[in-house]
Structure formats: structure tokens, C-alpha cells
Amino acid sequence: MELTLIVLGCVIIFLMLSPRPGPGGSEGSDSRWPAGGPGKQFHAAKVRRIIDGDTVIVTVSGRRIHLRLNSIDAPELDQEWGDIATYGLIKLIGGQWIYFEDQGVDNYGRTLATVFVKRRGGDEWINVNTRMVVLGHAWVQRIQNGDLSDEQRNELVRLERWARRKKVGMWRSPNPLPPWKWRQNRR
């Protein structure tokens, strides 16, 4: 148990001290205002709690909302890499102000969202959903991402392939189990 805590501590420190840019530079980030365009609705929110690698509780105008990062699926907390993916999301947005684009509601009543945060100490905006894939903390969700354009979906899939090839994050494991298969096996 003690060795497990030491290893986990080392992994967390490693993740905190070595941000990894994506292929070709700073993939998953955009120095402009969160990429939107006409008709996009962004909401400012304060992150209150990270539930796991793809779910957070935020406050918007005094109201608590559960956000589910749209189009990605991170390992569950009690699944291999689940705790590390959770800490990765804490590192990216824990306690910070974020902006999110509301993209509907899932079957559990959570708001589906693409989340953006400003890089600490800079003006660069980071697409958190994309960044979780680049860091090897999440899969591209194979279902329920019909709201993405083909271009957005292809980009996410390309970034997942890149992370797999480079063995970033969970892809260092010989055979990581996708969360949707893990949940099926749990039933």
C-alpha cells in the first residue's frame, strides 16, 4: 500500500511538472477566445469539484451544475488510470474559472459541454476536452458525439491515435480497457 502511494505521488508530480504539447506544438489549445463563432453560447463557471476524469461540478450564477466533458470518456475512478485521469483534470481546471459551451444534457441529467480554461500565467485558451485526449487521460467517445462536426471528430480521433503511438498517459499500459467496456464487465 505504501509503495502504491509513493508511485501515485511520483506520477502526480511528473504530470504537474511536465505538461506535454500535442503533435506539432500546442494541440488542444487556442490562443484566441474559445473557438466559437456566431451562435455559440459560452458560460463562465467556477469549478467546485472534480468528480472524475470527465465530470465536474461548477457554479454558474450561484447554481451548481454537473458538467460532463462532451465526446471523451475517461477511465472510471476505480478502474486502472482512473485516479490519474482525475488528477490530470484537477491539474487543468481545479478551482479555476472556466468557460463552457452547453451542448445538451446526457441520460444522467449532466450538461454536456466543451470546456475551456486559460493557461495559467498566459493568454492561451485550452480546450480541456481535447487536452485530456492529448495527455492520454481519455478516449474519444465512440457514441453520443453526433453534435461534433466531422472535422472536430476526426481531429479528436487523430489526437487519440497520436497519444497511443507516443504511449502518452494510459497508453503506456500494455492493454488499457476502454471505460465503456469496463462498465459493461462491472454489471
**Residues designated as active site:** 68, 76, 110
Considering only CA atoms, which of 112, 12, 93 is closest in space to residue 49?
93
CB atoms under 10 Å from CB of 11, counted, come to 15
* Amino acid symbol at 105: V
DSSP sequence for 18-57? -----TTSSTTEESSSSS--TT--EEEEEEEEEEETTEEE
Instruction: Tell me how far apart the alpha carbons of residues 74 and 179 are, in angstroms, rounded to a whole number.
Output: 7
In terms of Cβ atoms closer than 10 Å to its own Cβ (0-12, 13-18, 19+), residue 149 is exposed
- Which residues have CB under 8 Å from 51's CB, separation 6+? 57, 66, 86
Considering only CA atoms, which of 69, 21, 26 is closest in space to residue 45?
69
Residue 93: strand, helix, or coil: helix
